[in-house]
Amino acid sequence: MKRFIFDTYEEVCSAASELYVKQLNEKPDTVFGFATGSTPVGLYNELVKKYESGEIDFSKARSFNLDEYYPMKKDHPQSYDYFMRDNLFNKINLSAFSLPSGEAPNAQAECKRYDAEIEAEGGIDLMLLGIGHNGHIGFNEPSVSYSMGTYLTKLTQSSIDANSRFFGPDEVQPTEALTMGIGGIVSSRKIILMITGDGKAAIAKKLFDGMIHADVPASFVLLHPDVTVFMDKAAAGNL
């Protein structure tokens, strides 16, 4: 594991974006794994800037996302499909992108279809992760089993509460999601983990306490042979 700590969130995003330049220079047809949430937004902004300046080219690359609410229409403003198109996909020349479909009539069948699509592309080369306040990655919540494939999961109340600010008072907030399993995530060839903000300081300390445990699902990532952690000083304050 390589861990880098920067003064600011902006510096974290800038440094992480350089790994994408390096990755695409080495493998233009990279298969990316992308994450949603507030943490990667700054990184996505940096990637858009690098694309617009001609420093980076996604034309031969494609991507898969970690998760999606279920059920969820992809054109819903709070869907992760909408989030990714709004923050990244509509602004770069990525050849193709996929997310688990929150519109699928059968969740189990959709999970199998999604895993087969990833396998057909040869797996994920570079996976981007954030970490939830409760230690989740994707929607692998605390006490999760070491699931290999994509699956339908019930969200913990803390995850529901953390995301409730995005939903209006008259909107029905999903309580389930389709998510890549821990095993699927760590089968990626490389992993970037971003941890930023003082609100993540407590879980960061728990993550790096040297133990691998199911109540902090992100800790399984530390077993990976090629993981790079980018943090700001706010998140690293308790280390």
Strand-pair category, 227-232 with 2-6: parallel
| Whole-number CA gyration radius for the chain | 17
Q: Which of 134, 140, 224, 232 is catalytic?
A: 134
- Cα gap 233→205, rounded to integer Å: 12
Q: Is 133 in the active site?
A: no
Q: Is 18 in the active site?
A: no
Q: Which of 81, 110, 125, 141 is catalytic?
A: 141
Q: Where are the alpha helices (DSSP H) in 27-94?
A: 41-52, 80-87
Q: Which of 46, 67, 81, 110 is catalytic?
A: 67
Q: Is 136 in the active site?
A: yes
SS3 46: helix
Q: Which of 136, 140, 224, 232 is catalytic?
A: 136
Helix 80-87 × helix 41-52 angle, to 10°? 40
Which residues on neighbouring strands pair with residue 151, listed in sequence order? 179
Q: Tokens at residue 221, please? A: 């990532």
Q: Is the dihedral of CA 28, 29, 33, 34 positive or negative?
A: positive
Q: Is 141 in the active site?
A: yes
Active site residues: 67, 134, 136, 141
